[in-house]
């Protein structure tokens, strides 16, 4: 890893010393004590170059999306989520299907691996049917009112 001094870092970034220190404290730029002067620090040239490039690319939606896509597909598999065939999967269930068929509490129980039944749906009752969330809500309320 290549390291540069404070003045070079300030010059490349075009910022005040306080801003450089803020970047270091937020973890955007790595630093370490200078081997020749323990009272001074040196800064990662690669981190500074990446920060300069990020600032040049702007903060528009296109630049942010491009940067996110540049990271590629997720590489860390988890027991909670994955992407298969372009579909988001939560603990083996398609996210779109969960959104259409399950209550918030049921999804939370799935994600948290909770054993208790959902308080939103009494045992032995079926989910309200309907093509939209609004239709399911109205069907649910009508069923509750009929009890």
Burial degree of 66 (CB within 10 A; 0-12, 13-18, 19+): exposed
Task: Give a yes or no: residue 76 inside a domain.
Answer: no
Measured distance CA(34)–CA(5) in Å, rounded = 8
Sheet (strand 41-44) strand order: 3-4, 41-44, 31-33
DSSP 8-class letter at 125 = P
Q: Which residues form the domain of 126?
A: 81-146
> What is the model's pLDDT at position 53?
87
Where residue 57 sits, what CATH number does that domain have?
Answer: 1.10.1660.10
Instruction: Please tell me the pTM assigned to this model.
Output: 0.43
Given 70, 89, 123, which residue is the final one in a domain? 70
Q: For the chain, what is the domain count?
A: 2
Closest CA to 40 of 10, 75, 85: 10
Same domain, residue pair 64 and 113: no
- Of residues 54 and 117, which shows the higher confidence score? 54
Task: Give a yes or no: residue 75 inside a domain.
Answer: no
pLDDT band of 76, cuts 50, 70, 90: low
């Amino acid at each position: 890893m290549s390291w540069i001094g404070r003045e070079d870092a300030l010059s490349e970034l075009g910022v005040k010393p306080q801003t450089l220190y803020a970047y270091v404290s937020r973890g955007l730029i790595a630093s370490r004590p200078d081997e020749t002067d323990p009272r001074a620090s040196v800064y990662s040239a690669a981190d500074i170059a990446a920060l300069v490039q990020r600032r040049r690319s702007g903060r528009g939606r296109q630049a942010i999306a491009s940067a996110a896509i540049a990271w590629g597909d997720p590489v860390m598999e988890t027991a909670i989520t994955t992407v298969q065939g372009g579909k988001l999967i939560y603990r083996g269930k398609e996210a779109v299907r969960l959104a259409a068929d399950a209550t918030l509490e049921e999804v939370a129980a799935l994600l948290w691996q909770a054993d208790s039944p959902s308080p939103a749906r009494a045992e032995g009752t079926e989910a309200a049917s309907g093509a939209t969330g609004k239709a399911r809500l109205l069907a649910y309320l009508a069923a509750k009112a009929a009890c």
